[in-house]
């Protein structure tokens, strides 16, 4: 069968399961924070593959690691270990609170592993019925049946009942609700330090400290979902480092591979060692290709120069976005940490975030939404300052069109 060398956007509608609604243009090449589509049109990338492309597109460090490993060993399965995965595990352990690492392919799989481990912890506790999981409204933890149930957004789970039981959702940042719900039957609390998909909402320090204390009091595992906030996104290697709270288990993915699919669950020995051979597994997780790329990306990002640079770039974004908001008055708030940025629309523009993102694309800027009311930016952590300014100029033109067309 002949291959269509130049597929078009209509081919998506013809051949792909309709769970996405991609833009009408098809990107074909990227370099740094710039992209080009099939027609040769150029874009500034403020989306970063949804907080994935931490070094932008085709960064030499990632390309070199991929090519070198691709000429050695691609995949051998989990009946063997490999050098790249051991190097990456050591990097993660030595750079965080954790003692052990489980590698997988995505954030959803990392959260699935964390929740399964939490249930095993409850089973081994000796306390009857210690299997309740506390999660939070408006959260997002992935698309497997377990993780989509843990996420507190019914729109993603309601069509797939019956759902896994024993998960209770509480208001985010409501410590009183947590105190009332967390008890001896709670095996885990899973929380995002910043709710990314839920609207770029930061957990308060008091909330996270209170959850830590409640988990300690009731023998529950505290899980931080840092799939979106991890690997430099907030200006620290992980967002928990911006707080005075250390979780028992942390999940990481997205930026970990800089665009190559990989995820990980990291944990202290106290809990990691409750898993035994055969309890959990994955065919591709921690394969040499993914691990080699992630190791190179992680090493590059985990430096004061890059992490401090995130904070510098965040300030440039904040100043530019505040100037635009002073001009157009569309946003109630510009919020987030580091280069996880949410522009929250005022009530009179509710539901219009996607419209703004579409206009931005027409003006040569890739952006995201975080729900119907928030325009989200998650660019490369090393995006050039002149590209930030150029991207904001394109955003300016998109906002001007939005105001004139609404």
For the annotated binding site for pyridoxal 5'-phosphate, the residues are: 107-108, 140, 225-228, 283
Six-digit token string for 132: 């309740």
* CA 59 – CA 297 distance, rounded (Å): 9
Six-digit token string for 267: 């944990």
For 219-341, where are the alpha helices, taking DSSP H only? 269-272, 288-301, 304-328
* CA 290 – CA 74 distance, rounded (Å): 9
Residues in the annotated binding site? 107-108, 140, 143, 225-228, 282-283
Placement of tokens 């597929």 in the chain: 7
Please state, in angstroms and as integers, the Cα–Cα distance from residue 98 to each residue in 197, 266, 362, following that order. Answer: 26, 6, 44
User: How many Cβ atoms sit within 10 Å of the Cβ of residue 19?
Assistant: 6
Six-digit token string for 179: 């105190």
* CA 319 – CA 323 distance, rounded (Å): 6
The SS3 of residue 152 is strand
**Beta-ladder partners of 100:** 267
User: How many Cβ atoms sit within 10 Å of the Cβ of residue 403?
Assistant: 13
Placement of tokens 């910043």 in the chain: 194
The SS3 of residue 208 is helix
Give the chain's end-to-end CA distance (angstroms, integer): 48
Residues in the annotated binding site for N(2)-acetyl-L-ornithine? 143, 282
CA-closest candidate to residue 241, choices 226, 222, 221 = 226
Q: Would you give the distance in Å from CA 53 to the centre of its chain?
A: 11
Task: Please compute Rg for the chain using Cα positions.
Answer: 21
- Tell whether the torsion through CA atoms of 226, 227, 232 and 237 is positive or negative: positive
User: How many Cβ atoms sit within 10 Å of the Cβ of residue 21?
Assistant: 8
């Amino acid at each position: 069968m002949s291959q269509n060398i130049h597929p078009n956007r209509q081919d998506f509608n013809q051949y792909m399961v309709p769970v996405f609604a991609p833009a009408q243009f098809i990107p074909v090449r990227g370099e740094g924070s710039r992209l080009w589509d099939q027609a040769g049109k150029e874009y500034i990338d403020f989306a970063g593959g949804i907080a994935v492309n931490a070094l932008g597109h085709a960064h030499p460090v990632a390309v070199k690691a991929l090519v070198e490993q691709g000429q050695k060993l691609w995949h051998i399965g989990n009946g063997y270990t490999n050098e790249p995965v051991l190097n990456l595990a050591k990097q993660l352990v030595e750079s965080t609170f954790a003692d052990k690492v489980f590698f997988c392919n995505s954030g959803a799989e990392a959260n699935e592993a964390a929740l399964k481990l939490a249930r095993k912890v409850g089973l081994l506790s000796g306390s009857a019925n210690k299997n309740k999981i506390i999660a939070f409204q408006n959260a997002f933890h992935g698309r497997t049946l377990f993780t989509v149930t843990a996420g507190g957004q019914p729109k993603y789970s309601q069509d797939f009942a019956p759902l896994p039981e024993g998960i209770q959702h509480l208001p985010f940042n409501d410590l009183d609700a947590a105190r009332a719900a967390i008890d001896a039957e709670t095996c885990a609390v899973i929380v995002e330090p910043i709710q990314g998909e839920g609207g770029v909402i930061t957990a308060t320090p008091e909330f996270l400290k209170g959850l830590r204390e409640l988990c300690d009091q009731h023998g529950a595992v505290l899980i931080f979902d840092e799939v979106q906030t991890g690997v430099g996104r907030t200006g620290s290697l992980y967002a928990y480092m911006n707080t005075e709270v250390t979780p028992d288990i942390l999940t990481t993915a997205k930026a970990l591979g800089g665009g190559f699919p990989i995820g990980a669950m990291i944990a202290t020995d106290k809990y990691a060692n409750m898993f035994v051979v055969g309890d959990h597994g994955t065919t591709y997780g921690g394969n040499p290709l993914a691990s080699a790329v992630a190791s190179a990306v992680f090493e590059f990002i985990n430096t004061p120069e890059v992490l401090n640079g995130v904070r510098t770039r965040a300030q440039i974004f904040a100043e530019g976005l505040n100037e635009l908001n002073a001009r157009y008055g569309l946003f109630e708030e510009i919020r987030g940490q580091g280069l996880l940025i949410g522009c929250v629309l005022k009530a009179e523009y509710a539901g219009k975030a996607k419209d703004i993102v579409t206009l931005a694309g027409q003006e040569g800027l890739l952006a995201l939404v975080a729900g119907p009311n928030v325009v989200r930016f998650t660019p490369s952590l090393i995006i050039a300052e002149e590209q930030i300014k150029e991207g904001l100029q394109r955003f300016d033109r998109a906002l001007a069109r939005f105001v004139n067309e609404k």
